[in-house]
Amino acid sequence: MSENINHFSLISRLLGNLFYRSPTDPVLGGVFSWLQQKGLTQIWPLETDKASLSAIESLQMAVDPVVLDKEYQRLFRDKKNAVSVEISAYNVDAEAFAAFRQARNMPSVESADHFGLVFLTASWIEDNLASVSAQKELFEQFLLPCATPFLTKVEAAANLPFYRALALLSREILAAMADELEEAE
């Protein structure tokens, strides 16, 4: 189980950053190179079917960051964005999420009202607290309530395969980790 959880931490950090940051953000520069070198294939801890294999390949194919950034802006940032990244748009209390983070001495952020940050928080908890109860609370109160509607909207609104694949793989890894957390109880 611990190997899958370590992989979950890496994958949560990857997926969280891909939702949280624009593809042209310098922080992601090395990420796209790593993806193109089949890095995700090497650490993906779940059984794959045709759909998940295709999604992994879609994330790992060469893509112009400027083109991908246009899709990111259209989906998540434009005034008429197709998909809200704010967890409050999915009836999740962003202030409660900020308090959850603060209670665990996580680094402060300008706004905790972002789906990608919830994924990043899951990775932070795994790396710094190793607390099943904190992970379970994060999943039950914040991550799972907004994940389904958010990821469904991303899949429906994405024009490029990259973000549809990102949503599909996010759904798969979240389901697997939720199952592992249940078993850990």
Distance in angstroms (rounded) separating the CA atoms of residues 128 and 183? 21
What integer is the mean pLDDT of 91-96? Answer: 96
What integer is the mean pLDDT of 83-101? Answer: 96
Q: Does residue 126 surpass a pLDDT of 90?
A: no
> What is the predicted pLDDT for the residue at 139?
93
pTM above 0.95, yes or no: no
What dihedral angle (degrees, nearest 10) is formed by the CA atoms of 28, 146, 109, 131?
-90
Distance in angstroms (rounded) separating the CA atoms of residues 89 and 10? 27
CB under 8 Å to 44, separation ≥6 — which residues?
7, 11, 56
Separation in Å, CA 34 to CA 50, 69, 77, 140? 22, 18, 25, 31
CB under 8 Å to 9, separation ≥6 — which residues?
122, 123, 126, 127
Distance in angstroms (rounded) separating the CA atoms of residues 6 and 11? 9
Q: Does residue 4 surpass a pLDDT of 80?
A: no
Residues 23-46: tens digit of each pLDDT: 999 999 899 999 999 999 999 988
Report the alpha-carbon angle 145-149-142, nearest 5: 20
Whether the CA torsion 83, 124, 182, 56 is positive or negative: it is positive
24: amino acid identity, one letter? T
Higher pLDDT residue, 138 or 126?
138
Distance in angstroms (rounded) separating the CA atoms of residues 18 and 119? 10
Residues 33-90: tens digit of each pLDDT: 999 999 999 999 888 899 999 999 999 999 898 999 999 999 998 877 889 999 999 9
Phi/psi at 2 (5° precision) = -65, -35
What integer is the mean pLDDT of 96-110? Answer: 94
> What is the predicted pLDDT for the residue at 3?
47
Share of the chain above pLDDT 90, in %: 76
Q: How confident is the model at residue 5 (pLDDT cuts 50, 70, 90)?
A: very low
> What domains lie within the chain, and their CATH numbers?
2-184 (1.10.3480.10)
Look over the chain and give the mean of its residue pLDDT values, rounded to a whole number: 91
DSSP three-state, residue 24: coil
Q: Does residue 184 surpass a pLDDT of 90?
A: no
